Amino acid sequence: MIPSFLDYETLRLIWWLFLGVLLIGFAIMDGFDLGVGTLLPFIGRTDSERRVMINSIGPVWEGNQVWLILGGGAIFAAFPAIYSAAFSGFYIAMFLTLVGLIMRPVGFDYRNKVSDPLWRTCWDWALFVGGFVPSLIFGVAFGNLLQGVPFRLDDTLRVYYEGSFFGLLNPLGLLCGVLSVTMLAAQGAAYLNIKTEGVLQQRARTVGRVMTLVALALFILAGLWVASGVQGYAISSPVVGDGPSNPLLKTVVRETGSWMANYGKYPWMIAVPLVGIFAALAAALLVSVSPGIAFIANSLFIASVVATCGVSMFPFLMPSSLDPASSLTAYDATSSAFTLFVMLIATLIFLPIILAYTSFVFRVLRGKVTAEYVARNSKSLY
């Protein structure tokens, strides 16, 4: 029995919020894994340094990937229409992402099996691909969501995608992709700043500061671009928050600047991007003073970037550039109220357990990974 205070509209808003939390959790936690992989061939100049980088994330990367599984599961169960449209339309992009993610465990496990320099160099670049490609594609996907995805729904709500993979590689999509790569590379550098020492730590600080400032500049540029040159979406018909999950029951219009409308309607939302700007500046300034606080500030910047996209588009989740009325929103692309309620109960039980276990793991594994430690345990570590 669903409590009276949890009506259908409230459950939909809660799951919109939970989806954002899961995406932010993935970007922050798995983001530093991807960032370390992206930086591996460039910051690590010797085999010893690269082994230190790999072993800094070796014990935690699998646990961090739980956030990706949770996010995908939440979309599948709470927003099945989004799952259907995204995984059919972005099929090639998803395939390349999975290939990149598969390169990580294979690279971790096989790199140290043979001591040949060429062998290890090949796996180092495989780990780079495993960090760079997913980071790029996730950003490109967000850039295309802001512009609208070329799909439509027929009268039976079947999805028809009429775009191409190369159509995703448009200027704004690529800008957001580069923003994602630099942002997560900065997160990886911030993590290495905590876990390493000596010359490797100094390189991580330098690269992290540069990447953070570049990501901040790209974030501001993308915001100005979206505000002045991108046609957003707005619902022109009455919004029925507790209505049926049928996207075709609404009317949608497109106009430049529509993504900025929520900031006028809800002025407090402007705090979301502003927090990100100040967090990025703080991360760049504190990288040599307090690595831990710099990592937190960089994490807050990442959260702000993802949240800015979410609040700007609300209630849209996947707008359609072919047929705006087919656009999927938080109000018409969800599962039933009972499904959302059952999932809410499960989330309230298991999410705190995951957070507690994650905190425990990082507390147990606190401390720096040194070249001497890796050398002493060369047979048991990556």
Other CB atoms within 10 Å distance of the CB of residue 191? 25
Q: How many domains are there within the chain?
A: 1
Closest C-alpha to 124, from 112, 137, 136, 134: 112
Q: Is residue 77 part of a domain?
A: yes
> Long-range contacts: 40-45, Cβ < 8 Å, 24+?
40/124, 40/127, 40/128, 40/131, 41/124, 41/125, 41/128, 42/207, 43/189, 43/192, 43/200, 43/203, 43/204, 43/207, 44/124, 44/200
pLDDT at 373: 87
Confidence band of 294 (pLDDT split at 50, 70, 90): very high
Q: Are 208 and 216 in contact (CB under 8 A)?
A: no
Q: Is the peptide bond before 315 cis (omega within 30 degrees of 0)?
A: yes
> Is residue 382 in a domain?
no
Torsion of CA 363, 127, 303, 348, to 10 degrees: -60
Residue 381 lies in a domain: no
In a domain, 1, yes or no: no
The span from the CA of 26 to the CA of 17, in Å, is 14
**What is the structure's pLDDT at 88?**
78
Average pLDDT over residues 52-75: 90
Over residues 78-89, the pLDDT tens digits come to 999 999 888 877
Among residues 183, 139, 179, which one has the least CA distance to residue 279?
183
Q: In angstroms, what CA-CA distances link 36 with 43, 106, 173, 290, 369?
A: 9, 16, 23, 19, 14
pLDDT band at 311 (very low <50, low <70, confident <90, very high): very high
Question: Given a cut of 80, is residue 302 above it in pLDDT?
Answer: yes
Let me know if residue 2 belongs to a domain.
Answer: no
Radius of gyration of the CA atoms of the chain, in A: 21
Q: How confident is the model at residue 287 (pLDDT cuts 50, 70, 90)?
A: very high
* 32 within domain boundaries: yes
Residue 379 has pLDDT above 80, yes or no: no
Work out the pLDDT band at 332, boundaries 50, 70, 90: very high
Does residue 171 have a pLDDT over 90? yes
Residue 130 included in any domain: yes
* Alpha-carbon separation of residue 159 from 57, 105, 254 (angstroms): 39, 34, 21
Torsion of the alpha carbons at 162, 17, 170 and 263, rounded to the nearest 10: 120
> Residue 159 is part of which domain span?
8-376
> Phi-psi category of 112—alpha, beta or left, where left has phi over 0 and alpha has psi -120 to 50?
alpha
Q: What is the pTM of this model?
A: 0.94
Rounded to an integer, the average pLDDT of 211-224 is 96
Q: How far is residue 249 CA from its own chain's centroid?
A: 31
Beta pairing partners, 151: 161
The arithmetic mean of pLDDT across residues 253-281, rounded, is 94
pLDDT of residue 276: 96
Does position 214 have pLDDT exceeding 80, yes or no? yes
Kindly state the tokens that stand for 295: 């990592």
